[in-house]
Amino acid sequence: MDSCLDFVDFYSVNLFLHGEYLLMSVIKPFKALKPSSQTAAKVASVPYDVVNIEEARQAAEGNPLSFLRVTRSEIELEPNTDPYSPNVYLKAKENLQRLISKAPLKADESDHFYLYRLIMDGRAQTGIAATYSVDDYDNNVILKHEKTRKVKEDDRTNHIVTTCAQTGPVFLTYKPVKAIDKIVDETIKNVKPLFDFISTDGIKHTIWVLPDKFNKSLIDEIGNVKNLYIADGHHRAASASRAREVKREANPNHSGKEEYNYFLAVLFPADQLIILPYNRIVIDLNGKGKDEFLNDVSERFIIEKTGSKQPEKQKTYGMYLDGEWFMLKPRDSVLASNSLSKSLADTLDVSVLQDFLLNPVLGIDDPRTNKRIDFVGGIRGTNELEKLVNSGKAAVAFSLYPVSVSNLMNISDAGEIMPPKSTWFEPKLRDGLLVHLI
């Protein structure tokens, strides 16, 4: 494997106060590898983990510049190829080099911060695209709210190490800072965008280079932020940390200044974000008939037939069964039992559904590993739930009220972990527009 390039680095920031080191959030500009404005829309692709292999193959069909050919390179190999085989990662490296030549993709000559704005349904959110400290991730300056799976960590670690690149950004958030908002607003007002296009799903993507005059102020302002939070991309962040260990062990001259000590992310203010629900389907009724199932559910939840498909408030649940929608409300005994929990995560709607229905009634003991449950992102809508049940692919579906950003931050602050598939952020950042070479 060819060696990776090392670029100029900024040192990590620590403040010594009252005999203790206080870790501060570190942000660093970088030399983004990026397409031209003419090819950006063709290169840009959805994140690797929101499409299955068939969806990825279909999305890239007829488009040789699609970045899915790098992030999901198995689409160019034989259909029965193991997606975690070495050939997949070598193909990703080959395809990245091909795109560098054909797109072309070019790295900036000097380090920059970038702004990345997404507009969906008239609502805009603008984040700071930069590299962030792996040490901050390891030391919990950057807080997590999900557990990661080793197989997915292995996959992206191999992808990063083999391609010598972080090909898709982690989605971070923070509590808004007025001084940063001002920098963002002034840049958008006065600087011509690098890229400005509408993707096939109707999302408008715009990227600017942040003027260098703002660099120091931005670094200082982010340095004063106590914590950053992973909104989406836990596996990407964990894999960047593991890839750093691989690179460090292979580098006898490791100094801590190398690019592999940082990971690519876009940082959005929390007040601009919206979380969609992550709904559930279960493939069978755990050996129960419809009447027995409803009777068991009714011991814990009040069941009412409804024309509504989506809950309008917390602690209510939509349930689609046998062509009908029901609204579920936890009985007082459930709420009383749940209120005894000292865990913030246990009080979330997804936890109540898991602890008082999915597990005791349907036998879904561990939603991370049980193959009888699946998860449907809220962007697919409740029509997707109906489709899956009506087709026989699922026996029952549940729609949930979305988790709030404040829920996410509070649970992260408490050092707790959310249940799996609790949050679905939309719109999604595109891969391939800003690549970080390590």
User: What pLDDT digit, counting tens, does each position of 18-77 carry?
Assistant: 344 455 789 999 999 999 999 999 999 999 998 899 999 999 999 999 999 999 999 999
* Structural tokens at position 27: 């942000």
Q: Is the pLDDT of residue 246 over 50?
A: yes
User: What pLDDT digit, counting tens, does each position of 75-100 carry?
Assistant: 999 988 999 999 999 999 999 999 99
Question: What is the largest distance, in Å, between two alpha-carbon atoms of the chain?
Answer: 68
* Structural tokens at position 333: 């005994």
CA dihedral sign of residues 165, 167, 173, 174: positive
- Residue 11's pLDDT band, with cuts at 50, 70 and 90, is very low
User: What pLDDT digit, counting tens, does each position of 128-169 carry?
Assistant: 999 999 999 999 999 999 988 899 999 999 999 999 999 999
- Residue 119's pLDDT band, with cuts at 50, 70 and 90, is very high
Res 416: pLDDT: 93
For strands 262-269 and 170-174, give the pairing.
parallel
* DSSP calls for 41-87: HHH-B--GGGS-HHHHHHHHTT-TT-THHHHTGGGGS-TT--TTSHH
Calculate mean pLDDT across residues 110-128: 97
Res 368: pLDDT: 86
Q: Is the pLDDT of residue 230 over 50?
A: yes
User: What pLDDT digit, counting tens, does each position of 252-294 carry?
Assistant: 999 999 999 999 999 999 999 999 999 999 999 999 999 999 9
Decide if 112 contacts 212 (C-beta within 8 A). Answer: yes
Res 12: pLDDT: 42
Res 312: pLDDT: 93
For strands 228-232 and 142-143, give the pairing.
parallel
Task: Identify the residue whose tokens are 């069909």.
Answer: 61
- Ranges for all domains in the chain classified under CATH 3.30.1760: 278-401
User: Which pTM does this prediction carry?
Assistant: 0.89
Res 23: pLDDT: 59
Instruction: Pick 278-401's CATH classification: 2.60.40, 3.30.410, 3.30.1760, 3.40.1130.
Output: 3.30.1760
Q: Is the pLDDT of residue 5 over 50?
A: no
Nearest-angstrom CA–CA distance, 4 and 201: 35
For strands 228-232 and 204-209, give the pairing.
unpaired
- Residue 396's pLDDT band, with cuts at 50, 70 and 90, is very high
Res 352: pLDDT: 96
User: What pLDDT digit, counting tens, does each position of 181-190 carry?
Assistant: 999 999 999 9
Q: Is the pLDDT of residue 377 over 90?
A: no
Of 187-191, 353-357, 358-362, 379-383, which range is least confident? 379-383
CA distances from 143 to 272, 316, 411 (A): 19, 29, 10
